[in-house]
Amino acid sequence: MLNIAVLASGGGTNLQALIDAEKAGNNPNGKIALVVGSREGIYALVRAKNAGIETAVLARKAYPDVDSYSTALEELLLAHQIDLVVLAGFMTITNAHFTEVFANRIMNVHPALIPSFCGKGFYGLHVHEAALARGVKVSGATVHFVNEVCDGGPIILQKAVEVREDDTPETLQRRIMEQAEWKLLPEAVRLFCDGRLKVENGRVRILPEE
């Protein structure tokens, strides 16, 4: 049984998708052992407490720099014997040492089809605003491992979602969450906990079920 930590900065809808998948028995080899909020008062912490999951708050403003924050986060996760770190709308930057310590053990879900509309500045509604401004016909979501490059880690899963003529950034965001993010992230976590993800030459290979 692998221990999972979910890091969140907001409402925690992707966290809820993971909680629901675990409750449904869809991840028999993993459990969410800790939810870390980047600030007090976020609804993700309420979701965790309602599900009986231990929580912690690690506010960036409480630390003088990225390095000291990253060290504190690393120590917290190691103390809880965390095997997999899931970024679920976590808006706080960590340093390269942190991603090295948890190499190929940090997952993020991005609301676009990487390499489109990703990298610095592409988060939240900004992603969907850019997609609509470009006039793309499909967008979607990507789950990837996290490395020192923003949105640059190996891709695990992707799912395309139709972009409609009358879409606003908000309606596109909602459809991508419902049709892609909330499905892909629990599946990627399950594959990891089942030992079916292998990174080779910067690419992820999904191993067959035994």
Whether 144 is a known active-site residue: answer no
Share the mean pLDDT of the chain. 97
* pLDDT on residue 155: 98
Q: Is the pLDDT of residue 210 over 90?
A: no
* CA–CA separation, 108 and 123 (whole Å): 12
All structural domains of the chain: 2-198 (3.40.50.170)
Per annotation, catalytic residue among 110, 126, 128, 144: 110
Q: What is the pLDDT of residues 56-97, one digit of tens each?
A: 999 999 999 999 999 999 999 999 999 999 999 898 989 999
Q: Is the pLDDT of residue 14 over 90?
A: yes
Strand partners, 207: none
For 6-18, what is the mean pLDDT? 97
Calculate helix-pair angle for 169-176, 125-134, nearest 10 degrees: 110
* pLDDT on residue 104: 98
In this prediction the pTM is: 0.96
Tokens matching residue 41: 């008062």
* CA–CA separation, 69 and 73 (whole Å): 6
Q: What is the pLDDT of residues 110-150, one digit of tens each?
A: 999 999 999 999 999 999 999 999 999 999 999 999 999 99
For 104-113, what is the mean pLDDT? 98
| pLDDT above 90 coverage of the chain, percent | 97
* pLDDT on residue 164: 98
Evaluate whether 156 touches 201 at the Cβ level (below 8 Å).
no
Evaluate whether 11 touches 43 at the Cβ level (below 8 Å).
yes
Distance of CA 173 to the CA centre of its chain: 16
* pLDDT on residue 97: 97
